Amino acid sequence: MSGALEILLVVAAVLLIAFRLFRAQRIDSGRRWWLLPVVLAVVALREPGLLDDAHPSASVALLLLNVLAGLLTGAAWAWTSRVWREEDGSLWSAGSKAAGAVWCGGILVRLALYGVGSSLGMTRHTPVLLLGLAATFLARGLLLNRRAALLGPTYGEVSGALHPARRNARAARPKDRV
């Protein structure tokens, strides 16, 4: 993959994450939430540069640590996101301030891993980053869908108040007159 295409792919992934972090999103367990992690992993595994030939054991260790950091970041992102059920029974989620802090912490951990690799003289390439992002999205998707499933199905009227972001959107809609 060319350098410009790698940069474009990384920027697109970061923008997608930033867009998804705080925006309310409908959770649909039938949706293909796993598609993005699979695509990122396939792209990462097809590209050269996943491991440094001059430092094979250190590069495997740092790759595994990067994937572990991605899994932990995704799990923490899912656990710090708000999950709620609307009156119509649909499930929604949105990142909280804690989710933003988790994401920033994940970036710092990855930068520290990059620094360790650089201090050892290793070359780090985009596939390592993409594999870590795939792990992040996979863990988030799994846990978010699990949390949504724990809310259970609704039968009849849903109790509880609407999420504030959704309540404001409902209030802004014009009322139908009979």
User: pLDDT tens digits, residue range 71-93?
Assistant: 999 999 999 999 998 888 888 99
Q: Which SS3 state, helix, strand or coil, does residue 156 take?
A: coil
pLDDT at 155: 56
Q: 17 and 134 in contact (C-beta within 8 Å)? A: no
pLDDT at 138 over 70: yes
Q: Is 49 exposed, middle or buried (0-12, 13-18, 19+ CB in 10 A)?
A: middle
Cα separation of 137 and 36, whole Å? 7
pLDDT at 36: 86
The encoded tokens of residue 32 equal 């293909």
Cα separation of 9 and 4, whole Å? 9
Phi then psi dihedrals of residue 173, to 5 deg: -75, 140
Under the banding of pLDDT at 50, 70 and 90, the label for residue 157 is: very low
The encoded tokens of residue 157 equal 């009227």
Q: What mean pLDDT is predicted for residues 64-72?
A: 96
Q: What mean pLDDT is predicted for residues 84-113?
A: 90
Under the banding of pLDDT at 50, 70 and 90, the label for residue 159 is: very low
pLDDT at 89: 84
pLDDT at 5: 75
Q: 69 and 91 in contact (C-beta within 8 Å)? A: no
Q: Which SS3 state, helix, strand or coil, does residue 27 take?
A: strand
Residue 69 to residues 9, 51, 54, 145, Cα–Cα distance (Å) = 20, 17, 24, 20
Q: Which residue has the tokens 């996101």?
A: 81
Q: Which range has highest mean pLDDT (23-37, 65-79, 115-129, 155-169)?
A: 65-79
pLDDT at 118: 85
pLDDT at 177: 44
Which residues, in sequence order, are CB contacts of 31 under 8 Å at separation 6+? none
Q: Which SS3 state, helix, strand or coil, does residue 93 take?
A: strand
